[in-house]
Amino acid sequence: MIKETAEILFGRWDFFLPLIYEHLEISAAAIIIATAAGLFLGVLISQYKILSPYVLGATNIIYTIPSIALFGFLIPFTGVGNLTAVAALTLYALLPMIRNTYTGIANIPPAVTEAAEGMGSGKIQLLFRIKLPLAMPVIISGLRNMAVMTVALAGIASFIGAGGLGVAIYRGITTNNAAMTLAGSVLIALMAFTADLLLGAAEKAIKKKKYLPLKIASAAAVFLFAALFFTAGDRDGVIKIASKPMTEQFIISEMLKMLIEENTGLKAEITKGIGGGTGNIHPAMLKGEFDMYPEYTGTAWKFVLKHSDNPPDEMMIKTIKEEYEDKFGFRWVSLYGFNNRFGLGVRKELAEKYGLKTYSDLAPYSPGLVFGAEYDFFERDDGYSALSSYYGYNFKSTADMDIGLKYSAVNSGKVDVINLFTTDAMIPVSDIRILEDDRNFFENYHIGTVVRKDTLEKHPELLKALELMDGLISDEEMAAMNYAVEAEKKSDRETAAEFLISKGLLKEAP
């Protein structure tokens, strides 16, 4: 594991470097804003003590909100992406800054401030020449805690589509690549450690009253961050692609980017693995934060359009396309061909022995078979019990198991039938047959590109590039690509490029 992590770290600097940069940018923005606002509020409540219970109480409450929930609350206001990340991190960082500023000022011996006042210091002079410098050690130790916390917490920001090293962690989790997760974590820990070290040195300098090097260092830091922000650059005119936190969405979004850049001269930028998937991407699309993303018909039908019936494919797709245009101003451009739906898989030797091809074929043999699925499938309304009563199954027993273990359990004969997603990475290397849902129990999850209409109007050349995806990928091909990324640890970009080259849509890997 350590060796793999080191290999990823040293082998994929081109991947990590921009993430480190972005992580620094997000954390630095939050730290700087929180420092300024925290100092201001801390000074305010130490001058007007009547305000202190309210300000400290409010920030305390914010501090206790779990980070994921806070990100969730902020999305309606600040959207998906770096802005929300900076806002949430700033809110968390406020408390230590305000509290330490307040405490630092409150702990100054009254004789000292009184002497300064008695000698004729004005309010501002008292604050800047006496109170703040004397409170500085306490303020800096608050800043130090806050900076470490912010750098670490910024790792979670990728769950809501922000950049930074959390992207690596989340990518590792969603593509079953533990070394990648570890590499991202190690880098975050290193950054937090460095921040702690630098601020620790500053704290020491203040205690030893070496103010000059400290002034030089802080001027240099301010200059560096300013440079960082001004080089952040202009991202208008770039096509923004979103993707859900799933391996196949990562691969598909890479393909979309390559096809757009190969065929239109436009630039595209992918935000990978937005936590909450459609629940957060759809509102962001409405706001224009993203131009397009790959979506499944089943999700659009049930989750976005809130239909509860399950009509035949043709009708469902037609309705989805119409309603998306009317309600949201989005267009569905092309369906890629594969269908990532729930399915049932049976060990191949059993399927051959009993001649099982469809879900209905399974019913008479079910009393002799063991059914395995992840815990979630037994809980959901449209899961195990609904399926059993719909097809008349009566399995001998059932087993809860982790998604990652289902395939080995069916291969080794521990269970006989499993539920699955029809593009699961393990399908190509497992000894199973996927049965046909002959009476249409599960919704179909055809996948296509949802694009904002105004983006298509602004860049009419996009349409042709996106239509190249139409009918391009079969279930088996998608499962094989998922396997390449999840099991063989190929990068999603490389996998996408190889596939497009094999289909003649790309001359060489970009």
Partner 1 sequence: MSEAIVKFENVSKSYGNRLIVKNLRFSIKKGEFVTVMGRSGSGKTTVLKMINGLIKADSGGIYVYGQDISKCALVPLRRRIGYAVQETALFPHMDAYRNIAYVPHISGWKERDVKARVEELADLMNLPASVLKRYPDELSGGEKQRVGIARALAARPDMMLMDEPFGALDGETRNAVQDELLKIWRRYGTTIFFITHDENEALKLGSRIMEMDKGALKERTERHDG
Token digits of residue 200: 């620790």
Query: In the complex, what is the shortest distance from the CB of residue 154 to partner 1, in angstroms, rounded to a whole number?
Result: 33
Query: In the complex, what is the shortest distance from the CB of residue 203 to partner 1, in angstroms, rounded to a whole number?
Result: 14
Nearer to partner 1, 66 or 118 (CB): 118
Half-sphere exposure (Cβ direction) of 334: Cα atoms closer than 13 Å? 21
Token digits of residue 484: 């390449």
Token digits of residue 219: 């001027």
Query: In the complex, what is the shortest distance from the CB of residue 209 to partner 1, in angstroms, rounded to a whole number?
Result: 6
User: Do residues 297 and 321 touch, judged by C-beta distance below 8 A?
Assistant: no
Nearer to partner 1, 2 or 119 (CB): 119
Query: In the complex, what is the shortest distance from the CB of residue 101 to partner 1, in angstroms, rounded to a whole number?
Result: 16
DSSP 300: I
Query: In the complex, what is the shortest distance from the CB of residue 140 to partner 1, in angstroms, rounded to a whole number?
Result: 13
Nearer to partner 1, 29 or 202 (CB): 202
Query: In the complex, what is the shortest distance from the CB of residue 120 to partner 1, in angstroms, rounded to a whole number?
Result: 4
- Give the residue carrying structure tokens 């070290």: 197
Query: In the complex, what is the shortest distance from the CB of residue 31 to partner 1, in angstroms, rounded to a whole number?
Result: 24
Amino acid letter, 264: T
| Contacts with partner 1, residue ranges (CB under 8 A) | 109, 111-112, 114-122, 125, 129-130, 133-134, 136, 209
Query: In the complex, what is the shortest distance from the CB of residue 107 to partner 1, in angstroms, rounded to a whole number?
Result: 12
Nearer to partner 1, 1 or 212 (CB): 212
Query: In the complex, what is the shortest distance from the CB of residue 96 to partner 1, in angstroms, rounded to a whole number?
Result: 22
DSSP strands (E only) in 272-341 = 292-296, 330-339
Nearer to partner 1, 6 or 206 (CB): 206
User: Do residues 452 and 466 touch, judged by C-beta distance below 8 A?
Assistant: no
Query: In the complex, what is the shortest distance from the CB of residue 103 to partner 1, in angstroms, rounded to a whole number?
Result: 17
DSSP 3-state assignment of 370?
A: strand
Helices (H) and strands (E) in the chain — how many of each?
Answer: 24, 10
Nearer to partner 1, 13 or 128 (CB): 128
Question: In this structure, is the dihedral angle defined by the CA atoms of residues 297, 302, 307 and 308, taken in order, positive or negative?
Answer: positive
Nearer to partner 1, 134 or 344 (CB): 134
Single out the residue of 26, 40, 47 nearest to residue 165, CA to CA.
26
Angle value at C-alpha 282, between 455 and 171, nearest 5 degrees: 100
B/e letters for 277-308, b = 16+ CB within 10 Å, e = fewer, are: bbebbbebbeeebbbbbbbbbbbbbbebeebe
CA distance 77 to 67: 16
- Name 433's bridge partners: 346
Nearer to partner 1, 68 or 115 (CB): 115
Query: In the complex, what is the shortest distance from the CB of residue 102 to partner 1, in angstroms, rounded to a whole number?
Result: 19
* Cα distances (angstroms) measured from residue 483 to each of 7, 69, 169, 478: 20, 33, 19, 9
Nearer to partner 1, 113 or 358 (CB): 113
CA distance 106 to 86: 30
CA distance 10 to 283: 37
Q: Can you give 422-469 as a three-state secondary structure string?
A: CCCCCHHHCCEEECECCCCCCCCCEEEEEEEHHHHHHCCHHHHHHHCC
Query: In the complex, what is the shortest distance from the CB of residue 215 to partner 1, in angstroms, rounded to a whole number?
Result: 14
Query: In the complex, what is the shortest distance from the CB of residue 220 to partner 1, in angstroms, rounded to a whole number?
Result: 22
Nearer to partner 1, 108 or 258 (CB): 108
DSSP 3-state assignment of 394?
A: coil
Nearer to partner 1, 125 or 360 (CB): 125
Nearer to partner 1, 115 or 386 (CB): 115
Element housing 271 (H / E): strand 267-271
Token digits of residue 275: 């936590």
The set of long-range contacts for 298-302, using a CB threshold of 8 Å and a minimum separation of 24, is: 298/341, 298/443, 298/444, 298/445, 298/446, 299/445, 300/324, 300/450, 301/443, 302/443
DSSP 3-state assignment of 413?
A: coil
Nearer to partner 1, 132 or 183 (CB): 132
